[in-house]
Structure 1
C-alpha cells in the first residue's frame, strides 16, 4: 500500500493541510507517498488573483482551522491583485524537486507552498526554486535545471492526468492505494488522527 497526495501548490487548503500530512507521514515512516500536482489554475483559470474575490475570506478560515501561516509578503500580492497563479509552472517545480529528492517530496511540496503563502515568491520563477533548494540543502543548479527542462512540463501534464484518472476533483486529497483499491483518507481538511483512523480501518 502507498499514499497518494493530490494537491496544488497554489491551493490554500493544500497549504493548510501540509502540517497534518507531515504528521501522518512521520507516524508511518515505511509508507511510500506519491505527490501529484492537480492543476487547479490552468487554462482559462490562469487569471490575476483579484479575479478570485474569496481569497482572503478563505485564507482566514484555513488559518483558523489549521493554524496555517499566511505571510505579509503574500498578503501584499493579494492586495496588489495582479499576480497570476499558474499551476502548470508550479507543477513543473514540484516535478523538479521530486526528481532531485524523491524521498523528500512531501516536505518539499510544503516548502514550495511556504515560499508562496508566507514569503510571497512566485512558483513560476526559477529563482524561487533556487531559494527553496538552497534552504533544503539540495543541489540548487540541479533543481533549477530540472524546473527549466522540457521534461518538467511533460511530468506536470502526466500529474494532471493521474489526478483525473484517480477521480480527484478537489484539493487536497489523500488516498490510500493498494492495487486497484483506492480509499480516501482526506478531502479538503482532516486531522492527522482522523486520517490515521481511516488508514488503520483500510
Structure 2
C-alpha cells in the first residue's frame, strides 16, 4: 500500500495541509507517497487573483484551522490583484522537481507552495524553479530545462488524468492506494491524528 497526495500548488488549503502531511510522512517513514498535481486553475479557470473576492477570508480560515502562514510577498501579490494562477505551469514545475529528486517529492511540493504563499513568487517563472533547486541542492539547470520541456507538459496532463481517475474532486486529497483499491483518508483539512486513525482502520499502523 502507498499514499497518493493529490494537491494543487495554487490551492490555499493544500498549503494549509503541509503541516499535517509533514507529520504523517514522519510517522510512516516506510510508506511511499506519490505527489500528484490536480489542476485547479486551468483553462477558463485561470483568472486574476482579484476575481476571488473571498480570498482574504478563506486564507484567514486556513491560518486559523491549520496554522499556515501567508507571507508578506504573497499578501502584496494578492492585494495588487493582477496575478493569474496557472495550475498547468505549476504542475510542470512539480513534475520537473519530482523528476530531479523522486524521493523528495513531498518536501519539494511543500517548498513550491512556500515559494508562492510566503514569498509571493510566480510558479510560472523558470527563475522560481532555479531558486528552489539551488536551495534544495539540486542541479538548477536540469530542473529549469525539465520545467520548460515538452515532457513536463505531458507529465502535468498525466497528473490531471490520475487525479480524475482517483475520483478526486477537492484539493488536497490524501488517498491510500492498494492495487485497484483507493480510499481517501483526508480531504481539505485533517489532523495527523485523524489521518493516523483512518490509516489504522486500513491496517496501516503508525511506525514512528
The bucket for the TM-score relative to the shorter chain is over 0.9
2:41 aligned with 1:10, yes or no?
A: no
Aligned to 2:120: 120
Aligned to 1:72: 72
Count of aligned positions: 202
CA distance in 1, matches of 2:186, 2:16: 13
Q: Deviations over 1:158-198 (max 9, x none)?
A: 00000001100100000000011111110000000110110
2:139 aligned with 1:139, yes or no?
A: yes
Aligned to 2:21: 21
SS of 2:59 mapped into structure 1: helix
SS of 1:5 mapped into structure 2: strand
2:181 aligned with 1:181, yes or no?
A: yes
Q: In the TM superposition, what is the alpha-carbon distance from 1:142 to its structure 2 partner?
A: 1.0
Q: How do 1:94-173 and structure 2 match up within 5 A? A: 94-173=94-173
Aligned to 2:191: 191
> Is there any run of 5+ residues in structure 2 with no aligned partner, and where?
203-208
RMSD: 0.5
CA distance in 1, matches of 2:124, 2:148: 10
- TM-score, normalization by structure 1: 0.99
CA distance in 2, matches of 1:188, 1:54: 17
2:28 aligned with 1:38, yes or no?
A: no
Q: Deviations over 1:85-144 (max 9, x none)?
A: 000000000000000000000000000000000000000000000111111111111111
CA distance in 2, matches of 1:104, 1:169: 25
- TM-score, normalization by structure 2: 0.96
CA distance in 2, matches of 1:100, 1:164: 25
Q: In the TM superposition, what is the alpha-carbon distance from 1:59 to its structure 2 partner?
A: 0.3
Aligned to 1:59: 59
CA distance in 1, matches of 2:19, 2:107: 10
> Is there any run of 5+ residues in structure 1 with no aligned partner, and where?
none
CA distance in 1, matches of 2:73, 2:181: 42
